[in-house]
Chain A
Amino acid sequence: MAKIKVSTRINNENIDYLCEPNDTMLDVLRNQLNLTGSKESCGSGDCGSCSVILDGELICSCLMLAAEAEGSNIETIEGMSEGGKLHALQQKFLEKAALQCGICTPGFLMASKALLDHNPSPTETEVRYWLAGNLCRCTGYDKIVKAVLEVADEMKENA
């Protein structure tokens, strides 16, 4: 069967790829483009470890066909730091030890970034609800929530 040619933009780079009709976006990110930061844990949209930002919306890349990406703009964890400098959220996750094994971390970071992109000063409740689609099985959520809130506070001070 003929492969589908897709032209898209990933982390501010024009990227073309060929995919099978049944490849998910996550399959192509990980297996073709070597962007292995996005993880597959559940494969059914429950855990959020494959979270990416598609045209400004937070989504699970495991629930999107790679063919659907034609003409769209995708942000993955690999594009989060700029010129070797960690994003404020990445830096804060490190400082606060808001991670343990790290499998869920790229998803949490993308989800947190999407939250602050939409809502720069969320309440703790808003952070907790927003991150409800990201599961962590090691360290718990408290440090993660605190890290996001601190980054939001610092962004306000620096604004």
Chain B
Amino acid sequence: MSDTQYLAAKTIDEAVNAHEKANGTARFLAGGTDLLVQIKSGIRKPNLVIDIKKIVELNSINEISDGEFEIGASVSGANLNRNLKFAKLWPGVLEAFRLIGSEQIQGRASLGGNLCNGSPAGDSVPALIAAGCKAVIAGPKGRKDVPIENFHLGPGKTVLENGEMLVSLKFPKRVSNSADAYLRMTPRTEMDIAVVGCGVNISLENDICTNARVSLGAVAPTPLLIKEASDIMVGSKLDDDTLNRVSKMCMDACNPINDKRGTIDYRTKVAGVLFKRATKLATDRIGGNK
């Protein structure tokens, strides 16, 4: 860690230029709850750490229009948790994000960091995918939006190239009668990493599903969007038969690791169960029961 330099960037351009110039040896620092642990343990040895928290846009929660949020990449869990409107519109995203670590971690950890860390088990990621969220990326060639389901390439690998920085997470405008939910399975109730995570986001009109997105975490090298799930769910009343079919689809999509925290069979089975429970929870939320 001794050769590391520190830069507190004040603008996006400054951060992006410094990152590009460092040619692969720089890391962006948001909350630091992953990066500092990685540096201390020698997993990462960046020559330059670029602190992005002092860039206003990265640390802001913006409601661009009524019900349309853009969350800066370094906004902490504690900060986002205080936005009552966001909590009402995206309870699943918030509960997923808030599951990460202790209150101490929540005081620093960011949605952007959870995404860029690239873990297949990052709790907020399936919820962001289910939400239909986009990553706003700034780089030497300007800005672009990437759907979250395309952001990860493998464990620890993302689409971000040299000089590219995650600026914010752009949520679609929330329509009425919609809700999301995130559930995860962990061996312990708290302070643990997902063995399986499932995010579900649905809209209903007269009990008929008009929009559905389902995502799974920790069951493949990257978090997954279960694309075909929406084909079956939209137009249905989310009856048992529909849920059973999608549950099977979730299990078929699993390609998990086998480790002491969960076997392949166990992770696969739990993915199907969590899908049904998360869908029930989201439905209850639309009904105002949760």
Contact = CB atoms under 8 A, between A and B. Distances in A.
A94 interface: no
Contact of B107 (A20, A59, A115): A59
A58 B6 contact: no
B8 A68 contact: yes
Interface string A69-89: 010000000000000000000
Identify whether the interface residues of A are mostly helix, strand, loop, or mixed: mixed
B119 to A, nearest CB: 15
16 contacts: A21-B6, A45-B33, A45-B37, A45-B101, A48-B104, A57-B107, A57-B108, A59-B107, A63-B31, A65-B36, A67-B6, A68-B29, A111-B103, A111-B104, A132-B191, A133-B104
B55 to A, nearest CB: 13
B4 to A, nearest CB: 5
A4 interface: yes
A158 interface: no
A22 B2 contact: yes
Interface string A19-43: 0111010000000000000000001
Interface range on chain B (Cβ under 8 Å from partner):
20 to 34
Given A60-B105, A114-B103, 16 more contacts: A22-B4, A43-B40, A45-B101, A45-B105, A51-B104, A57-B79, A58-B104, A60-B108, A63-B108, A65-B29, A65-B49, A65-B51, A67-B6, A67-B51, A133-B101, A133-B104
A159 interface: no
A4 B78 CA distance: 28
A159 B103 CA distance: 26
A1 B5 contact: yes
A124 interface: no
A59 B40 CA distance: 18
B238 to A, nearest CB: 31
Closest 4 CB pairs of A and B: A133-B102, A57-B107, A21-B6, A22-B1
B124 interface: no
Contacts of B103: 58, 111, 114-115, 130, 132-133
Interface string A125-137: 0000110111000
A60 to B, nearest CB: 5
Given A21-B49, A63-B37, A57 B78 contact: yes
B107 A54 contact: yes
Given A67-B6, A132-B102, A133-B102, A24 B36 contact: yes
B107 A58 contact: yes
A44 interface: yes
A22 B39 CA distance: 9
A155 to B, nearest CB: 19
A86 B102 CA distance: 27
B207 to A, nearest CB: 34
A116 interface: no
Nearest to A63: B36
Interface string B180-197: 000000000011000000
A70 B190 CA distance: 33
B53 interface: yes
Contacts of A60: 33, 104-105, 108
Nearest to A48: B104
Contacts of A22: 1-2, 4, 6, 39
A64 B191 contact: no
Interface in B79-134: 79, 101-105, 107-108
A50 to B, nearest CB: 9
Contacts of A114: 103
A4 B4 CA distance: 12
A16 interface: no
- Of B6, B8, B41, which is in contact with the most chain A CB atoms at under 10 Å from its CB? B6
Contacts of A45: 33, 37, 101-102, 104-105
